[in-house]
A and B are shown apart, each in its own frame.
Chain A
Amino acid sequence: MADQVDSMSDAELRTKLAEHGFPIMPITASTRKLLVKKLKLVLDNKSKPRNSVDSKVESRRSLARYSSGEESDLDASNAKDKRGGRRSKVGGSMLPPASSKTRHIPVKKDSPVKPDSDKGSESDEEKSPVRIREKVETITTRQIKRTYTNDQDDYETGSDSDVDGDKKTSTPYRSNSRASDHISSTLPTANASTSPPKPSLYTIPSISSTNYSSPILSSSDHLNSIRSRLGLTSTLADRPSVSSYISDYTSNNVDEVESPYLNNFTRRLSSLKSDPPKTSTFLDQDTNNGSTVLPRRSYMTGVTRSADVVDYKSVNDKKFLKNNLVSLALVVLVALFFFCLFFMYLVKKNDIASVVDDQNSLIPICQLNIPGNRPGINCVPREHVSYAKDLLKVIHPELTTRIASYQCGKPGALPYLTEKEIIDIASSRAEMVDVSQCRTDLNNLQVLIVNNPRWGLSVVQLKNLYTKDVEYTPITSVDIVVQQRNKGSVAITLTDPSTPISCLFVNTLYSAGSTFIIVGLISVVILGLQRFYKYYVRYQKKKSEEIYSMVEQIIDIISQETEDSGEPYISVDHVRDTLISPQNREKMASTWDAAVKFIQTNESRVRMEVQSVDGEDCRVWRWISPHGSPKRSAAWQGQAFETQEGSVNNLTVSPTPCLKIRHMFDKNDTNPNLRSVIQDAILEKCGDRCNILHIDIDRASCCVYVKCSTTIDAGVVYRSLHGWWYEGRLITVKYLRLERYMQRFPNSPSTGPFLKPSRRR
């Protein structure tokens, strides 16, 4: 393989590299060698594991990454080498147009694992069905597994019944479930009779596939048959790629796949010694479910698969019901209990008769031999007790409705019945009863109610008879009742009125609503306050920022104007008018005032004073800056002695245009672009006042040589550099004869262009 790579053409090499997930790049004379080497490396890596890796390990690893179908593919390839050739051809013809770098990386990482590189070489179109197949197959394996474990005990009983030759399992449900059991049970036996269920389930596809020529297809088909036996093909059928795929090949492979399987199955069945008719039904169902495309099978019967599916489902439902019967019953019982409780509560509340007729009620019977007894005041004549109770039963519903409507907030409703109303009600109910009779009964009733607080009624004294006020106080002794009775301000009400549910609901809603509104209002207020505070803070910040920027602008203007115009001061109003446009002046007045105030108090470089400008006194700002050269280079630290005209250090005439500058750097300076640094420093210092032709440095003697265009320029340079401190070193400048300079730098230019400071500062 490696020799081939060397002799490959450029195009072949490119193809090959792309196959292995490399980015396609131009193959030139200089890159070819590199790419060939790379390809060789990859090929070496690939061929190694294929030969040496333990087949078990590989199968497990590939199982983890691939479906069983893929794995069987690998197994087949292991057996025969010619597959490699085919694969490469396929890869060559189905090249991805341009593989990305991301694809490149995983391939490289996993290059020892053979399946990966295989996969990388496959085109995208081929990849997607594979992926789907994987998914489907893993799903089915899981389902098979589950069925197996679920039905394990069923299977036991099934096989028992087989051995016993039990014939009672003739209902479709039983036989169907058994059929599925047998499928799951035959899976392990196909491999080894004693192996545990799980691993054997895994290995089945690979084993079956090694026997056949096109392994992927057969194994997937195999699984498909199992799946269909379990009635699970519906999901599979939805995937066009897989289903078409299968339908293409089933006709070729089903026979081969099916027969060993059936062989196993029948062998097992015969070993179990079941009666002949049952075996045939099993076979029927098996073949029906498993291979719908097997018209050649003579024992094909009319059993449809859909029926099986339904049966299978019903089996599951029944099982579920059976398992959860107790818990369901418990839940139902509890619900029932609470419902009864609720119902009883409702009923009990409304039933006044039972309360009144209770034997435990305290009824003071009038006895003639006790002197203090007065009927209707503190005792009740025996024969009138039942009348009084009847009266109560008559008025109780009316009282209940009244209180209900009162509590529902109906306007005008009162939560009690006055004596007069009671008598009206009583006389309207029973026409024969005369009013005095009613009166007596009412008196008796009042006595009874006072004596029996348990009845849930109370006699009350109204505070205000003629208004609609509902204030009242309960009366606890009969004597007061008698007193109030004359005033006509006695009424009967319920002590513990129950609100109807609808009213309760509405009331709750109302109160909840009002609470919500209050909470909402409060939160809105708080939110508003917070907003306002935030806004205020932001406004303040903005304002102060404005002021600061204004101050900066003012100072800029003052320093600039005073520098430019030569006058050391500038009118305040003039500054304002330059800074703020006319339409903004009113608006910015406060900012301006604040800025002026700030400058007055906090700015030391500006002093405000009153000057007469054009005969008019106005406020001015004076710029007090000791030396107005803010653009001074940091490297030039100041002058040690005077070089201006007239000083001793100044030569009146510059003898030559060449200069030699000492001490601008020292020997230890290892800066590689020292020359440009120094050149910049000199050019900056001298500025535009002179024309410099050439600057060079001599590292050995620590000298800088400068050649100017004229002697006058050299004088300017001399004056601006001599006696200055540069980075902590005092610089001395001397004139140099032009001949000496030309000796040293024969290539130095004699005319322009002049040096300019380099852009990078």
Chain B
Amino acid sequence: MSSTSQKHRNFVAEPMGEKPVTDLAGVGEVLGKRLETAGFDKAYVVLGQFLVLKKDKELFQEWMKETCSANSKQSSDCYECLKDWCDEFL
């Protein structure tokens, strides 16, 4: 991926703290609502799931699709976002 979105850059730029799930790249309002109803209200909860799935892209995307019916671009964005964040801060 040559360029990343501003949202991605913002998220990766700093520790996530208490950021809401909608701050994740690829997660907009709709997906954010769905994730919140599924219990994933904060970005760090999604990060936990991401880590439980051992950063496996395929499985994570599958999970995103399952949980909030994200399309492949959204889930891929979210995956990249979390992965870059982990590379930076984990």
A-side interface residues toward B, CB under 8 Å? 23, 25-26, 28, 30-31, 33-34, 37-38, 672-673, 760
Contacts and interface: CB of A to CB of B under 8 A. Distances in A.
Nearest to B54: A25
B56 interface: yes
B13 A760 contact: yes
Nearest to B63: A34
A31 B10 contact: no
Given A25-B54, A26-B52, A673 B10 contact: yes
A147 to B, nearest CB: 50
A33 B52 CA distance: 14
A338 to B, nearest CB: 72
A673 B59 CA distance: 33
The 10 closest A-B pairs by CB, nearest first: A25-B54, A34-B63, A26-B52, A34-B62, A31-B52, A23-B54, A30-B49, A34-B66, A28-B52, A672-B6
B8 to A, nearest CB: 12
27 contacts: A23-B54, A23-B56, A25-B52, A25-B53, A25-B54, A25-B56, A28-B52, A30-B49, A30-B63, A30-B67, A31-B49, A31-B52, A31-B53, A31-B59, A33-B66, A34-B53, A34-B59, A34-B62, A34-B63, A34-B66, A37-B62, A37-B66, A38-B59, A672-B6, A672-B10, A673-B10, A760-B13
Contacts of A33: 66
Contacts of B6: 672
Contact of A38 (B13, B54, B62, B67): B62
Nearest to B40: A30
Nearest to A108: B58
B79 to A, nearest CB: 14
Nearest to B45: A30
| Chain B CB within 10 A, most for which of A26, A30, A31, A38 | A30
Contacts of A25: 52-54, 56, 59
B72 to A, nearest CB: 16
Contacts of B10: 672-673
Given A25-B53, A28-B52, 10 more contacts: A23-B56, A25-B52, A25-B56, A30-B52, A31-B59, A31-B63, A33-B66, A34-B59, A37-B62, A38-B59
Nearest to A25: B54
A547 B70 CA distance: 61
A25 B62 CA distance: 15
A273 to B, nearest CB: 68
Nearest to B56: A23
A12 to B, nearest CB: 19
Interface of B: 6, 10, 13, 49, 52-54, 56, 59, 62-63, 66-67
Nearest to A673: B10
Contacts of A673: 10
Nearest to B65: A34
Contacts of A672: 6, 10
Nearest to A30: B49
Contacts of A38: 59, 62
| Chain A CB within 10 A, most for which of B10, B49, B53 | B53
A124 B67 CA distance: 37
Contacts of B66: 33-34, 37
Contacts of A37: 62, 66
A31 B54 CA distance: 11
Contacts of B62: 34, 37-38
Contacts of B56: 23, 25
Nearest to B7: A672
A23 B54 CA distance: 9
A318 B59 CA distance: 66
A56 B62 CA distance: 37
A739 B59 CA distance: 56
A723 to B, nearest CB: 32
Contacts of B13: 760
Contacts of B63: 30-31, 34
A444 B47 CA distance: 120
Contacts of B54: 23, 25
Nearest to B38: A30
A28 B49 CA distance: 10
Nearest to B62: A34
Contacts of B59: 25, 31, 34, 38
Contacts of A34: 53, 59, 62-63, 66
B11 to A, nearest CB: 12
| Chain B CB within 10 A, most for which of A34, A38, A760 | A34
Contacts of B49: 30-31
Contacts of A28: 52
A34 B54 CA distance: 13
A673 B9 CA distance: 12
A33 B63 CA distance: 9
A28 B45 CA distance: 14
B61 to A, nearest CB: 10
A582 B10 CA distance: 51
A648 B10 CA distance: 44
Contacts of A760: 13
A673 B52 CA distance: 32
B13 to A, nearest CB: 7
A33 B67 CA distance: 10
B54 to A, nearest CB: 5
Nearest to A104: B56
A673 B11 CA distance: 12
A111 to B, nearest CB: 14
Nearest to B59: A34
Nearest to B13: A760
A26 B52 CA distance: 6
B60 to A, nearest CB: 9
Nearest to B10: A673
A263 to B, nearest CB: 55
A530 B66 CA distance: 70
A25 B6 CA distance: 32
A740 B56 CA distance: 54
A25 B63 CA distance: 14
Contacts of B67: 30
A206 B3 CA distance: 57
A332 B71 CA distance: 81
B40 to A, nearest CB: 9
